[in-house]
Amino acid sequence: MKRLAIMAVVLLALAGLAVLGGLFWWNSSLEQFARTPYGSPEEKTVEIPSGAGMKQVARLFAGAGVVGDETRFYWLARRLGIDRRIKAGEYGFSGPIAPEKVLEQIAQGRVKLYSCTIPEGLRADEVAPLLEQCGFGKASELLALARDADFAKKAGLKADSLEGYLYPDTYSFPKNPKVGQVLLKMVSRYNEEYRKADALRQKGIGLDPHETATLASIIEKETGDPQERPRISCVFHNRLKKKMKLETDPTVIYAKILRYGSFDGNIKRDDLEYFHPYNTYRVKGLPPGPIASAGAAALQAALDPIECDDLFFVACGGGTHKFCPDYTCHQRWVDICQRGRK
């Protein structure tokens, strides 16, 4: 009996050692798995559905080739407590990556982002289709919201729409963002750039924020050569001071788009003579609002023009203009630049 008891103790001890050895091996294996990068060079995308459990997540990531062992990935998440901090969304991974880094990305919600670049000088109806192409919502929904007066107030604007406030920049969002979120981000970027321009405001320039957006949009549309923006701004400021009509073609084009829904590429005498709030050949001062979204340089030019005596400018090829302080000079350059006279 004594010998049997001793053998039982020995067997229990061996079993215990085997269990401890197994645990040691498992922990070592799990630690090595956690730190060892895995995966092929190409990008792999995995979408975690809302409410997914860790077992489902482990299966998705192993199936996509992000991790090499579904079971170890599951237990590593349990060990790190990340199984309770899973954030739904679409995740992207490129090249070999350690499983612990994968879990860190999931826990922090660092989802895959999609980028969209909006150039300067576009109207809201031109911006909306570009945003749709980037997967940032339907153009019809984006444009409807951009033209919603209540939404403009929600965005903190003293305007009836977001025209002129959809700042041109590169934006990044997760897959299928809410259209309101996209538009509010663009307005927020506009406000950032306006504050920078306002900090450089020239003494005596009394434009309020909406007037600034309006003038900046006209400068943006009139400028082919970026270096001319401050001088074009000077011309408009001089005309405003003298209570002269701005007589700028981009506002006529905008008025025509509001009338007909599109621009046919031609400005006719009827367009110049037609009374419309945005036709600056008929209405003195600035139009009711912006005609496009201006960039940072046009915003700064609107509030910090150079000093000049010019009251006129005329396009003279290559995107540049000839500037004049009086009509006689202006007419001479019109003859040379637009009528081909020597």
Per residue in 253-263, pLDDT (tens digit) is 999 999 999 99
Interval 233-254 mean pLDDT: 97
Query: 175 CB contacts (<8 Å, ≥6 apart)?
Result: 47, 89, 90, 111, 112, 114, 135
Interval 126-155 mean pLDDT: 97
* Helix or strand (DSSP H, E) at 47: strand 43-48
What is the pTM for the complete model shown? 0.86
Q: Give the whole-angstrom CA distance, residue 296 versus residue 261.
A: 28
Q: What's the gap between Cα 75 and its chain centre?
A: 39
Query: 170 CB contacts (<8 Å, ≥6 apart)?
Result: 115, 116, 117, 118
Average per-residue pLDDT for the chain: 92
User: What band does 178 get if pLDDT is binned at 50, 70 and 90?
Assistant: very high
Q: Which has the higher per-residue pLDDT, 232 or 5?
A: 232
Residues 185, 191, 192, 197, CA torsion sign: positive
pLDDT at residue 16, rounded to an integer: 54
Cβ–Cβ under 8 Å, residues 59 and 70: yes
Residue 11 one-letter amino acid: L
Q: Do domains 34-112 and 114-194 have the same CATH topology?
A: yes
User: What band does 224 get if pLDDT is binned at 50, 70 and 90?
Assistant: confident
CATH class of the domain whose range is 34-112: alpha beta
Backbone angles phi, psi at 252, to 5 degrees: -65, -40
Fold of 114-194: Dna Ligase; domain 1 (3.30.1490)
User: Could you tell me what percentage of the chain is helix, strand and coil, using 3-state DSSP and rounding each to the nearest 5?
Assistant: 55, 10, 40
- For the chain, give every domain's residue range: 34-112, 114-194, 202-338
| 3-state class (DSSP) for residue 117 | strand
Query: 292 CB contacts (<8 Å, ≥6 apart)?
Result: 121, 122, 123, 163, 164, 217, 220, 221, 250, 254
Q: Of 21-30, 51-60, 249-258, 306-315, which range is least confident? A: 21-30
pLDDT at residue 123, rounded to an integer: 98
pLDDT at residue 339, rounded to an integer: 73
pLDDT-above-70 percentage for the chain: 92
Q: Is the pLDDT of residue 38 over 80?
A: yes
pLDDT at residue 287, rounded to an integer: 97
Q: Give the whole-angstrom CA distance, residue 210 versus residue 267.
A: 27
Cβ–Cβ under 8 Å, residues 244 and 284: yes
pLDDT at residue 28, rounded to an integer: 82
Q: Measured at the alpha carbon of residue 263, what is the angle toward residues 258 and 268, in degrees to the nearest 5? A: 100
